[in-house]
């Protein structure tokens, strides 16, 4: 028989949910915040990356629903850098965050936008992007133009211009910390 619990505030609600849904060992388990949930999914998406330098995952979210995902890698049908004997950018000595046009790969954010387009998913504001790495300037411009209003990122990327562009466009940019605000 279920027990009804009167809940008057958010902390009591979370405590009641935790008590009602114990972990496998019998201990109550608190649900992750929405930011934690989406960032965990972005990390799983990043695990599909074939990039030899860094694995990045991005997801586009609206009203707490995932619209599209993407990870960094070469265009469909093109060889992966590992298959070609190494990273093209490494061979040319190009530092991270510079000369983005000299890359065989698309970025995770670009692939998420492309996946939305391929599958007819409309990206209308407000859209949020959860990404395991701060967007570069190219991705920042694309995210602004598809209506992303909030970006939650985990890792740093050396691109100050991207940060300035996002700020100028009024995009809320938030460095992820476990337990972020979106409950």
- Per the CB < 8 A criterion, the answer to whether 113 and 123 are in contact is yes
The token pair that represents 12 in the structure block? 């009591």
From the list 14, 40, 44, 39, the residue with the least C-alpha distance to 29 is 14
Instruction: Name which of 1, 5, 32, 35 is nearest 19 in CA terms.
Output: 5
Is 30 annotated in the active site?
A: no
Q: In the chain, which ranges are continuous DSSP H helix?
A: 10-20, 34-46, 88-92, 108-118, 137-145, 160-168
Strands 57-62 and 127-133: antiparallel
Residue for token pair 């496998």: 24
Of 141, 150, 142, residue with least CA distance to 170: 150
131 neighbors 70 (Cβ within 8 angstroms): no
Instruction: List the catalytic residue out of 30, 98, 109, 168.
Output: 109
Provide the annotated active-site residues: 109
């Amino acid at each position: 028989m279920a027990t009804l619990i009167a809940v008057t505030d958010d902390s009591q609600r979370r405590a009641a949910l935790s008590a009602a849904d114990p972990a496998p060992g019998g201990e109550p388990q608190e649900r992750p915040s929405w930011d934690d949930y989406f960032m965990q999914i972005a990390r799983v998406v990043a695990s599909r990356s074939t990039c030899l330098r860094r694995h990045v995952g991005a997801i586009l979210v609206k009203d707490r629903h995932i619209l599209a995902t993407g990870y960094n890698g070469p265009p469909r049908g093109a060889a992966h850098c590992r298959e070609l004997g190494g990273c093209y950018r490494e061979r040319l000595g190009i530092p991270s965050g510079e000369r983005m046009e000299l890359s065989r790969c698309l970025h995770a954010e670009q692939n998420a936008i492309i996946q939305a387009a391929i599958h007819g998913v409309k990206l209308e504001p407000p859209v949020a992007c959860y990404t395991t790495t701060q967007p570069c300037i190219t991705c920042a411009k694309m995210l602004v133009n598809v209506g992303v209003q909030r970006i939650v990122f985990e890792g740093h990327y050396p691109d100050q211009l991207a940060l300035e562009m996002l700020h100028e466009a009024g995009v809320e940019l938030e460095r992820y910390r476990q337990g972020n605000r979106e409950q």
